[in-house]
């Protein structure tokens, strides 16, 4: 590049995210929260992806929709995220930092500006079509939203199925649409967007099980796919959560799950492992049994791949507590039993005996595969794919592609589960931020607000708006009567009604009325505050009124919808809800959201591969970083690893990264550093450190913490380790091969799960199966004559690692299973090292001599007991740090402003550690990029006059926030308070109140409701 | 889902059931409510870690007091469900409503009526 061109180079502060699933949403939010404009381009009519279709998620059994819908709302209302749905990218040109992307919007036939999402059109549309969302188990209409919580909630017309488009008459939707939003002339639109980077997160397709005809899908009605079964389990699904079989709606008892349908099969499916099916099948079996205790589930599997954090604990519980049966067997055929519609499964059991077993229902655990148009899609963005049509990504940054400035994330990059997808969503945001950091803040919209009106001296003047919600409310509730009634209530100076209160024109009208009538408190009687409260609060702010002087009465969800058959009662109840809302709003007081400054410096604890990458990720964005390492040198466990399984050189990579970190102007490395003190809150922490060798004390002020304390290899005391030199760990074997080669090795035996998946450590260490195969293949490469035997419990070469397992088998490496109760025996006598193990199929013991016995020793968390007590961090029983939420907050710790990455979180591969460290940088940047943090005003506060210092609040707070201060009374730091109100309810002196939920603000509703009851 | 439930059930929103106070429950009875029930997250699934467990204790406390005062502890109840479980919400609403109908009006109301 010439000097001239480089000075002209443009950096844009906007990013395009293609896709709308949970990974894409996370990337959008992290970018938009740290100063970038985001354009989300989603091909479906709603965002949400696969996760919205799931019923519950393990291990907590949390409802999937409950977890994802608040995130969807965050995306929808973010002023720096533009959602383009029913949209696809046509072409891309330009350079990293400055791309021009042409986007095509497909016609929706509904004007999103006018549509209020009331859903009347959908209700009245006469045309029924199989619902894609419900997997064909129920119907939708030709004008529809993908699912009830769809975002945007603007309906779309499915032209192929619309009676008007196909036959030229109908237009029922147009007739019933009070907002006049139907647009038959819609032809779609094409436009160009300029962005600095592009993130691809289009997800994957699901395997079509009809290809495997022997399994009977599409032929036998009671054979369903796993995603159909999710819908069957869902309370909002086609059967309202009752487990029924589609064929005859009978309740099944014996249900079989068949694993690896479409995965690990290079004949008529895909060779890779889909990574998620073992766990979702386990979850489905557990949840099905919870729904109906008579259900008797069996899971037919090849290997149970419970390789994630605490996954084995969940599987063990499924086996021991829920009595789920796991049967290792491949199913060769599924036939229907004539007359009963039951299904006969044929399989060879673990002893090789052929069996036929009858089940009431069969669930096929279908895997993931790239979309059919993967090649064309890749061509549009100019990125290369690997042999399996997944994007080709470098081993040391799994979110980069062959085209600079174009990144990938989520399952599109390779099969993965929800937490890994969320983590990688943050990781790709982190990588993008590093590229575009100089353009941060250049394209974002900043909210300008008028000064707040001082209302302390004003009388209470309440405005009430009652919403028709099209006909959603008005067809049941007598809106005019409710409006009239509201006008008679105390302090109400105005009451009005709107067709759609949330429509932009109504909002403008509300603003005018607020000014005109001098209103200082607002009640909206409409729908759910969960979805609409923020919009009305924004309207109040834009009129200069404190947004907390607001209350909603949900007369739609709580009256018209749920008492639609009793309109009089619905109207009566609406009046009561309005009366309660008016009573409460009169008691509310203005609340100010406190702003606290952020110290724009990060503290990274741990100088291994995760810590180094986290430090570089932040420093490259211009933030100051202090990197602490307890040892004398950096690099951690990775310094002992030669190559990755793909053959990438880890040693030189680690050395390069160490060089970068030590020479970076924004990074200060402190080795032999020990944390001895910690205080503060998000944005404002102070850490005391003793720095060796002199152990001098330093105090560091910083805004965030990234924990990257790492893990070590387990030191075995079993299988003669330490007593015979020929017994070594996998890391030692790779060092041995590096130094001495494999010439002298005639036979090598490997034992898996040493120090993992047992009573002391119930978890899988995730990396050992691939480590064994990596070393085995290395030996075969060095000396093809060496015989290798691997003794395993389940081979867990998840995702694309399955390729290497297949290669190992093809190269003649022998695999035998063993069971926890019956481990191999190792003897060293007369110079021979002999391993005795039992072969399941032959039913007898086998003996093998070995020149080397390699133990696949698990991963053990570094000792962080003291650190966790100083920083007050939760850890698992095995000493790994516990994230704030296992699914959706895999990088955040429960204490805001503290993040975790790498093997400090759980055992993982180098590429995965790097991914999580990039994710930690993105999450940390959402804090560091802001000069101030705005705190919620809904926090608890103590009246020191009333406090008796009884410590009940100190003990009851789930977040350990209340402290007894120098005056001897309890004090609650509003920066730390989560606003749950537990302390306020527990306080015997009633010295604590929760803002916005003060006792009289709750009890006035009780009083108003029961007015006249006595 | 728009499932139907009895219209005499009215909801008061709290940030977490952990915020429910004994006085809130007792106040409702004092003012003439025939029954009160508290609906929280599933046990183990509280958004604020354990608020619903504390709520359960307070509901139990309220029951004792209501038993002592003769209003009847069975008029107050704690339920747990997940936010997506509409059918269960309806089931609990119907269950509670039927129980309260069986128990009849709040005795305070009857006393007042008798006094009048």
Summarize pLDDT for A781-825 with one digit per residue, the tens: 999 999 999 999 999 999 999 999 999 999 999 999 999 999 999
Residues A274 and A349 in one domain: yes
Among the candidates A821, A842, A858, a domain finishes at: A858
pLDDT at A829 over 60: yes
Q: Best of B4, B9, B13 to disrupt the A interface by mutation (most A CBs within 10 Å)?
A: B13
Q: pTM, whole model, 2 decimals?
A: 0.87
Q: Nearest-CA distance from B103 to chain A in Å?
A: 17
| pLDDT attached to residue A975 | 87
**What does the domain layout of chain B look like in residue ranges?**
17-115
pLDDT tens, position by position, B55-66: 999 999 999 999
C-alpha–C-alpha distance, residues A80 and A87, integer Å: 18
Encoding tokens for residue A391?
A: 């994007």
Task: Indicate whether A218 and A332 sit together in one domain.
Answer: yes
Q: Distance, in angstroms, between A846 CA and closest chain B CA?
A: 47
Of A768, A776, A790, the C-alpha closest to A908 is A768
Cα separation, A719 vs A68, whole angstroms: 47
pLDDT at B46 (0 to 100): 82
B contact test, residue of A985, A986, A992 with most B CBs within 10 A = A985
pLDDT band of residue A4 (cuts 50, 70, 90) is: very low
Q: Which of A250, A274, A456 is nearest to A361 (CA)?
A: A250
Ranges assigned E (strand) in A132-230: 139-141, 143-144, 156-157, 189-195, 197-200, 205-206, 223-225
Q: For residue A976, give the CATH number of its domain.
A: 3.30.70.20
Nearest to B86 among A235, A999, A1013 (CB): A235
**B84/A1005 Cβ within 8 A:** no
Q: Report pLDDT for A1.
A: 39
Residue A183 and residue A110: Cα distance in Å, rounded?
5
Nearest to B19 among A565, A566, A984 (CB): A984
* Contacting residues of B for A61, CB less than 8 Å apart: 42, 44-45, 82
Cα separation of A229 and A804, whole Å? 32
Q: A11 is written with which tokens?
A: 């950096």
Q: Does B94 reach chain A within 8 Å, measured CB to CB?
A: no
Residues A725 and A671 grouped into a single domain = no
β-bridge partners, A679:
A686
Q: Answer yes or no: do B13 and A563 touch at CB < 8 A.
A: no
DSSP state of A253: S
Q: Of A562-571, A597-606, A955-964, B43-52, which range is least confident?
A: B43-52
Q: Which residues of B touch A234 (CB under 8 A)?
A: 84
**Residue A161 and residue A296 in one domain:** no
User: Which residue in chain B has the smallest CA separation from A1000?
Assistant: B24
Tell me how many domains chain A contains.
7
Say how many C-beta atoms besides its own lie within 10 A of residue B47's C-beta. Answer: 17
Domain that holds residue A324: 206-369
Mean pLDDT of chain A: 95
| Domain presence at residue A1000 | no
The pLDDT value recorded for residue A872 is: 86
Same domain, A602 and A650: yes
Question: Does A999 sit within 8 Å of B23, measured CB to CB?
Answer: yes
Q: Which chain A residues contact residue B88 at CB under 8 A?
A: 235
3-class secondary structure, A580: helix
Q: Which residues of A touch B18 (CB under 8 A)?
A: 980-982, 985
Please check the confidence at residue A855 and state whether its pLDDT lies above 70: yes
Chain B: closest CA distance from residue A590 (Å) = 18
Q: Is residue A456 part of a domain?
A: no
Q: Do residues A472 and A537 both lie within one domain?
A: yes
CATH at residue A470: 3.40.50
**CATH code for the domain of A912:** 3.50.50.60
B42 touching A (Cβ < 8 Å):
yes
Band of pLDDT at residue A659, cut at 50, 70 and 90: very high
Beta-bridge mates of residue A835: A826, A848
Interchain pair A985, B19: CB under 8 A: yes
For residue B12, list chain A residues with Cβ-Cβ distance below 8 A: 580, 1002, 1005-1006, 1009
Chain A residue whose CA is closest to B52? A982
Determine the average pLDDT of the residues in A491-509. Answer: 88
Integer Cα distance of A72 and A40 in angstroms: 12
Q: Could you say which of B5, B21, B87 has the minimum Cβ distance to residue A240? A: B87
> Chain A within 8 Å of B43 (Cβ-Cβ)?
no
Instruction: State which residues of chain B have pLDDT below 70.
Output: 1, 84
State the average pLDDT over residues A149-177. Answer: 95
Residues A221, A337: one domain? yes
Model pLDDT for residues A968-1011, shown as the tens digit of each residue: 999 999 988 999 999 999 999 999 999 999 999 999 999 999 99
* pLDDT digit string, tens, across residues A531-575: 788 889 989 999 999 999 999 999 999 999 999 999 999 999 999
Q: Provide the pLDDT confidence category of residue A117 given band limits of 50, 70 and 90.
A: confident
Q: Of A472, A565, A467, which is closest to residue A177 (Cα–Cα)? A: A472
Residue found by looking up tokens 């040493």 in the block = A754
Closest Cβ–Cβ partner in A240, A566, A982 for B18: A982
- Residues A673, A691 contacting (CB under 8 angstroms): yes
Judgement on whether residues A628 and A543 belong to the same structural domain of the protein: no
Split at pLDDT 50, 70, 90, the class of A8 is low
Q: What is the 3-state secondary structure (H, E, C) of A298-351?
A: EEEECCCCCCCCCHHHHHHHHHHCCCCEEEECCEEEEEECCCCCCEEEEEECCC
Residue from A119, A1006, A1009 whose CB has the most chain B CBs within 10 Å, to mutate: A1006
Yes or no: say if A624 and A604 are a contact pair by the CB < 8 Å rule: no
Q: Tell me how close the Cα of A557 comes to any Cα of chain B, in angstroms.
A: 8
Report chain B residues whose CB lies below 8 A from the CB of A237.
none
Query: Over 80: is that where the pLDDT of A63 sits?
Result: no
Say yes or no to pLDDT of A503 above 80. Answer: no
CA nearest neighbour of A389 among A364, A414, A426: A414
| A756 and A850 fall within a common domain | yes
Collect all residues of chain B within an 8 Å Cβ-Cβ radius of residue A573: 7, 10
> Across the interface, do A1006 and B4 touch by the CB < 8 Å criterion?
no
| Chain B residues inside the 8 Å CB shell of A244 | none
CA distance A22 to A52: 9
Q: Which residues of A touch B51 (CB under 8 A)?
A: 958, 980-982
Which of A446-460, A687-701, A850-864, A987-1001 is least confident?
A446-460
Query: What's the confidence (pLDDT) of residue A299?
Result: 98
Chain A residue numbers with beta carbons less than 8 Å from the beta carbon of B4 are 562-565
**Closest C-alpha among A294, A349, A280, A366 to residue A323:** A294
B27–chain A Cβ distance below 8 A for any pair: yes
Q: Is B31 on the interface with A (CB under 8 A)?
A: yes
CB contact under 8 A, A980 and B16: yes
Residue A724: pLDDT above 80? yes
Cβ A986–B15 below 8 Å, yes or no?
A: no
Is A821 part of a structural domain of the chain? yes
A-chain CB neighbours of B32 within 8 Å are 1010, 1013-1014
Residues A114 and A102 in one domain: no
- Domain contains A449: no
Residue A795 shares a structural domain with residue A755: yes
Nearest CA in chain B to A1009: B10
pLDDT of residue A163: 97
Domain membership of residue A1008 (yes or no) is no
Q: Which of B83, B90, B94, B114 is most worth mutating to test chain A (most A CB atoms within 10 A of its CB)?
A: B83
Quick check: is A448 in a domain?
A: no
Cβ of A978 within 8 Å of Cβ of B87? The answer is: no
Q: Kindly indicate the confidence band of residue A3, based on its pLDDT and cuts at 50, 70 and 90.
A: very low
Query: Residue A1009 is nearest to which of B4, B10, B47, comparing CB atoms?
Result: B10
Q: Does B115 touch chain A (CB under 8 A)?
A: no
Q: Is residue A747 part of a domain?
A: yes
- DSSP letters spanning A206-245: EP-GGGSGGG-TTTSTTEEEHHHHHHHH-TTSTTTT----
Q: From the list A565, A980, A982, which residue is nearest B4 (CB)? A: A565
Within a domain: A476: yes
């Amino acid at each position: 590049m010439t000097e001239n061109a480089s000075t002209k180079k443009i950096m844009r502060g906007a990013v395009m995210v293609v896709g709308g699933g949970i990974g894409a949403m996370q990337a959008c939010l992290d970018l938009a929260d740290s100063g970038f404009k985001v354009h989300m381009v989603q091909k479906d009519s709603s965002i949400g992806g696969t996760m919205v279709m799931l019923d519950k998620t393990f291990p907590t059994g949390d409802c999937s929709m409950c977890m994802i819908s608040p995130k969807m709302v965050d995306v929808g209302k973010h002023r720096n995220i533009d959602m383009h749905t029913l949209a696809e990218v046509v072409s891309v040109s330009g350079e990293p930092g400055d791309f021009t992307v042409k986007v095509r919007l497909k016609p929706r036939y509904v004007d999103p500006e006018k549509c209020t999402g009331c859903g009347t059109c959908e209700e009245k549309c006469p045309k029924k079509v199989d619902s894609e969302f419900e997997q064909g188990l129920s119907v939708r209409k030709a004008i529809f939203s993908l699912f009830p919580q769809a975002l945007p909630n603007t309906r779309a017309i499915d032209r192929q199925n619309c009676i008007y488009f196909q036959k030229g008459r109908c237009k029922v939707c147009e007739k019933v649409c009070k907002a006049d939003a139907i647009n038959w002339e819609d032809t779609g639109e094409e436009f160009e967007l300029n962005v600095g980077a592009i993130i691809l997160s289009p997800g994957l397709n699901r395997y079509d099980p009809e290809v495997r005809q022997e399994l009977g899908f599409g032929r036998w009605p009671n054979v369903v796919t796993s995603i159909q079964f999710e819908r069957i389990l869902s309370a909002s699904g086609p059967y309202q959560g009752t487990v029924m079989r589609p064929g005859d709606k009978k309740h099944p008892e014996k249900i079989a799950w068949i694993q690896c349908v479409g995965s690990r099969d290079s004949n008529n499916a895909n060779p890779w492992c889909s990574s998620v099916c073992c766990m979702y099948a386990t979850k489905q079996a557990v949840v099905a049994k919870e729904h109906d205790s008579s259900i008797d589930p069996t899971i037919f599997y090849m290997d149970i791949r419970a390789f994630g954090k605490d996954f084995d604990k969940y599987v063990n519980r499924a086996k021991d507590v829920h009595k789920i049966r796991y049967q290792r067997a491949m199913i060769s055929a599924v036939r229907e039993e004539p007359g009963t519609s039951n299904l006969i499964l044929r399989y060879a059991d673990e002893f090789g005996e052929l069996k036929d077993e009858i089940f009431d229902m069969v669930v096929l655990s279908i895997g993931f595969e790239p979309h059919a148009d993967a090649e064309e899609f890749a061509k549009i963005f100019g990125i290369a794919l690997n042999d399996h049509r997944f994007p080709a990504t470098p081993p040391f940054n799994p979110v980069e592609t062959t085209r600079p400035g174009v990144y990938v994330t989520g399952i599109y990059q390779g099969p993965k589960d929800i937490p890994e997808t969320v983590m990688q969503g943050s990781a790709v945001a982190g990588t993008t931020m590093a590229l575009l950091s100089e353009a941060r803040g250049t394209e974002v919209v900043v909210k300008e607000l008028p000064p707040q009106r001082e209302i302390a001296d004003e009388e209470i003047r309440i405005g009430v708006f009652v919403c028709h919600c099209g006909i959603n409310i008005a067809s049941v509730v007598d809106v005019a009567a409710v409006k009239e009634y509201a006008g008679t209530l105390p302090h109400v100076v105005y009451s009005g009604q709107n067709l759609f209160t949330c429509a932009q024109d109504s909002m403008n009208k509300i603003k005018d009325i607020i000014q005109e009538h001098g209103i200082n408190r607002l009640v909206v009687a409409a729908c759910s505050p969960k979805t609409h409260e923020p919009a009305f609060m924004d309207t109040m702010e834009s009129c200069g009124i404190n947004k907390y002087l607001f209350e909603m009465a949900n007369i739609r969800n709580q009256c018209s919808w749920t008492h639609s058959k009793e309109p009089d009662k619905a109207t009566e109840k609406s009046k009561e809800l309005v009366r309660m809302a008016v009573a409460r709003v009169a008691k509310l007081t203005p609340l100010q959201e406190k702003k606290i400054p952020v110290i724009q410096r990060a503290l990274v604890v741990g100088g291994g591969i995760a810590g180094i990458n986290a430090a570089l990720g932040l420093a490259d964005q211009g933030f100051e970083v202090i990197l602490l390492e307890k040892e004398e040198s950096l690099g951690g466990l990775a310094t002992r690893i030669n190559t990755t399984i793909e053959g990438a050189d880890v040693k030189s990579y680690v050395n390069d990264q160490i060089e970068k970190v030590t020479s970076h102007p924004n990074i200060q490395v402190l080795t032999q550093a020990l944390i001895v003190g910690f205080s503060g809150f998000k944005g404002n922490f102070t850490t005391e450190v003793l720095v060796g060798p002199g152990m001098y004390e330093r105090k560091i002020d910083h805004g965030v913490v990234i924990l990257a304390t790492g893990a070590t290899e387990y030191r075995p005391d079993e299988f003669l380790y330490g007593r015979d030199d020929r017994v070594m760990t996998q890391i030692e074997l790779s060092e041995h091969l590096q130094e001495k080669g494999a010439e002298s090795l005639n036979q090598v035996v490997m034992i898996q799960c040493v120090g993992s998946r047992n009573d002391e450590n119930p978890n899988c260490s995730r990396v050992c199966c691939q480590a064994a195969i990596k070393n085995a293949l290395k030996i075969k490469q060095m000396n093809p004559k060496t015989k290798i035997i691997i003794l395993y419990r389940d081979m867990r070469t998840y995702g694309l690692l399955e390729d290497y397992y297949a290669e190992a088998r093809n190269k003649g490496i022998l695999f035998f299973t063993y069971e926890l109760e019956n481990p191999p025996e190792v003897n060293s006598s007369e110079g021979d090292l002999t391993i005795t193990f039992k072969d399941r199929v032959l039913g007898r013991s086998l003996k093998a001599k070995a020149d080397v016995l390699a133990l696949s020793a698990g991963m053990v968390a570094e000792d962080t007991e003291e650190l966790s007590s100083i920083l007050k961090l939760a850890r698992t029983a095995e000493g790994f740090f516990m994230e704030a939420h296992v699914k959706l907050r895999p990088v955040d710790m429960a204490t805001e402003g503290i993040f975790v990455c790498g093997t400090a979180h759980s055992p993982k591969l180098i590429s995965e550690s790097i991914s999580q460290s990039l994710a930690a940088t993105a999450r940390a940047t959402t804090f560091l990029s802001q000069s101030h943090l705005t705190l919620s005003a809904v926090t608890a506060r103590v009246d020191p006059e009333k406090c008796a210092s009884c410590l009940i609040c100190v003990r009851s707070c789930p977040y350990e926030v209340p402290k007894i201060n120098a005056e001897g009374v309890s004090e609650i730091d509003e920066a730390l308070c989560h606003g749950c109100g537990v302390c306020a309810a527990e306080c015997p002196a009633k010295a604590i109140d929760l803002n916005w939920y003060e006792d009289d603000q709750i009890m006035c509703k009780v009083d108003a409701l029961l007015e006249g009851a006595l | 889902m728009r499932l139907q439930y009895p219209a005499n059930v009215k909801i008061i929103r709290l940030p977490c059931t952990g915020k429910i106070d004994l006085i809130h429950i007792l106040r409702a009875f004092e003012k003439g409510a025939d029954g009160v029930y508290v609906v929280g997250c599933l046990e183990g699934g509280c958004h604020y870690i354990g608020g619903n467990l504390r709520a359960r204790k307070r509901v139990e406390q309220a029951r004792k007091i209501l038993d002592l005062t003769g209003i009847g502890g069975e008029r107050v109840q704690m339920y747990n469900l997940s936010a997506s479980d509409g059918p269960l919400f309806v089931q609990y609403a119907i269950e509670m409503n039927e129980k309260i109908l069986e128990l009849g009006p709040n005795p305070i109301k009857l006393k007042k009526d008798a006094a009048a």
